[in-house]
Chain A
Amino acid sequence: MRTVRIITVLLALFFALGLAAYMTIWMLVPRRDESSSIFTRTMNDRRDKEILFAVLIAVLTLFIAFITIGVGPPGVSLWFLALSCLEAVMVWRGASEDERENLRQVSSNLSKTRVGRTDGWRAVALRTGLGVIFVIWGISLMSRVSGEHGAAAYVLAGASALVLGLFALFAPWWIRSIQDLSMERRARVRAQDRADMAAHVHDSVMQTLSLIQRSANDPVEVTRLARQQERDLRSWLANPETFGAHSSTARTLSQAILDVESEIEDNYDISVDAIMVGDIPLDDATLALVAACREAALNAAKWSGARDVAIYVEVEAKQVSLFVRDQGSGFDPLAVAPDRQGIAGSIIERMRRHGGTATVTSSIGAGTEVELRLPRASSST
């Protein structure tokens, strides 16, 4: 079967002969285990005959139009092409059910040429037809150019017709690919938003919930925590952009770090000592750095058992380095369950999203040091 089709395609290159021959055979030879051929079935149906007649007229009109436009009398290949078209219509009308199913599958692959779901086949046919006509017209106009005067006008008209035709043919595909691109971009932004949101929820709500669990038999403490968390969430919902670390008044990195310091000292029995070398204004990335630092210091306050935690921030020419170190109980980083969000999500992943890195060094009994590095945007001084 395949060889037959290949031969057909090759023959089609010669005056569309192969195409016409293939269609004729398709039409006249009945399928295996079918009694009648497509041709006889079409001829027996009155409606099908009418449609065939209409198409015949349409093809002839097209021919005449071509001759008047100046393509010249249709060559042999054009006649064969017209014949194939006619036969194609017959095949479509007269095809049996399962053959029709086959054709539908083939045509569904063609549906990429449609812009949206709403476009019917009629619209596609119209557009494709117009496109083909404009392309042929354009080519014929341009091919008339010889040494005569004013030939440029033809070239111009031909070229514009050609462009118009190509546009009609390929615009849907082009528009579709642009739409896909912007859709993908939107999806990515949405995913980033979701990750930021998840990190924030973990930092605030999850942390508070774990605190509430630990002080479950102290109703006063539970109430205090819940109220504080509520206030926190409200301010974040009202203004998520400026919600940095605890307070929205911080303008520079060192102020934000000092806010973290006082926040943690207020809420936990641990002393936080932050040392800053240099300072830069806050932006999205440095806010993320502050949030990761806060998370690291919170972990130290909650789990290490150390009396104090040391934060060291250094603004270097190319990057900002931040170290959070405690000399507490430490932990085995490899033994942390993969679903724990604290280090993975709120520190490492958050830094990675903003182009930075985070390294957690810890071993049981030897304390913990979290090292955060964030490359500086080249524009800031």
Chain B
Amino acid sequence: MTSERVPTVFLVDDHALIRAGLRAELSGHVNVIGEADEVAAAIEIILERSPDVVLLDVHMPDGGGLAVLRAVNKEQPGVKFLALSVSDAAEDVIAVVRAGARGYVTKNIEGPELVEAIVRTAAGDAVFSRRLAGFVLDAFTNRSQDGLSAPSLDPELDQLTPREIEVLRLIARGYSYRDIAEQLSIAIKTVESHVSAVLRKLQLSNRYQLTNWATERHLL
């Protein structure tokens, strides 16, 4: 098991109400060491305080979460990002995850689940929301109707194993990691490693179809 230490968390969101809500939800479970409501301030304070996990709002003025992520990653690659978004902005989320966020959750997530996701991110595991799982299934299994099959440089990165597909499908159906482990008769740790492998493929894959897909979905 990972260390007993409570992870330190930094909140980035331009809505004061949401930051307050998150603080209330998280207090007692994780150590919230600060918050910011704009990109420049966020970068500065994060680099100064080096939290374990940054809870990052995707939609913000001046470049949004992506700008924070890029700037911090350059200086301190050890800081892990968990993207937080309303569920309908797929292309922003994909961009953030591709830029290095360890996962993505929606804002209607329940308190205990959010805590679990933060702990998981701090431990270096990936956190998939239902939408992200659906997106990866769609993009990687080539079921999109547009017929766009991007040329890939590394076929291994563009293939999901049957087990990974199974895990993603269960996530998309709304199962928690614990439910998935039970359903597939495997350890939770194994579920986590499958999901981490998928996240790595998502981040390293050369398929530009990924962004295409997100843009298209947004236009619908």
Q: Which residues of A pack against B, CB within 8 Å?
A: 254-255, 271, 273, 275-280, 308, 310, 312, 314-316, 323, 325, 327, 369
Contact = CB atoms under 8 A, between A and B. Distances in A.
9 nearest A-B pairs in the assembled complex, by CB-CB distance? A310-B174, A278-B143, A275-B134, A325-B174, A277-B138, A323-B173, A312-B173, A312-B172, A277-B137
Contacts of A310: 130, 173-174
B207 interface: no
B145 interface: yes
B145 A273 contact: no
Interface string B155-184: 000000000000001001111000000000
Secondary structure at chain A's binding surface: helix, strand, loop or mixed?
A: strand
Contacts of A275: 130-131, 133-134, 172
Interface of B: 87, 106, 108, 130-131, 133-134, 137-138, 141, 143-145, 169, 172-175, 220
A191 to B, nearest CB: 35
Contact of A327 (B145, B174, B220): B174
A255 B220 CA distance: 9
Given A278-B144, A308-B108, A273 B172 contact: no
A275 to B, nearest CB: 4
Contacts of B174: 310, 312, 323, 325, 327
A325 B145 contact: no
B87 A312 contact: no
B152 to A, nearest CB: 19
A254 to B, nearest CB: 7
A314 B220 contact: no
A273 B87 contact: yes
Given A273-B87, A273-B130, A325 B173 contact: yes
Q: Which of B106, B108, B133, B174 has the most chain A CB atoms closer than 10 A to its own CB?
A: B174
Contacts of A278: 138, 143-145
Q: Which of A275, A276, A315, A323 has the most chain B CB atoms closer than 10 A to its own CB?
A: A275
Nearest to A315: B143
A277 B133 CA distance: 10
Given A273-B131, A310-B174, A314-B172, 10 more contacts: A254-B220, A255-B220, A277-B138, A277-B141, A278-B145, A308-B108, A310-B173, A312-B173, A315-B143, A323-B174
Nearest to B87: A273
A327 B143 CA distance: 29
B172 A279 contact: no
A330 to B, nearest CB: 14
8 contacts: A255-B220, A273-B130, A276-B134, A280-B145, A310-B173, A312-B174, A316-B143, A327-B174
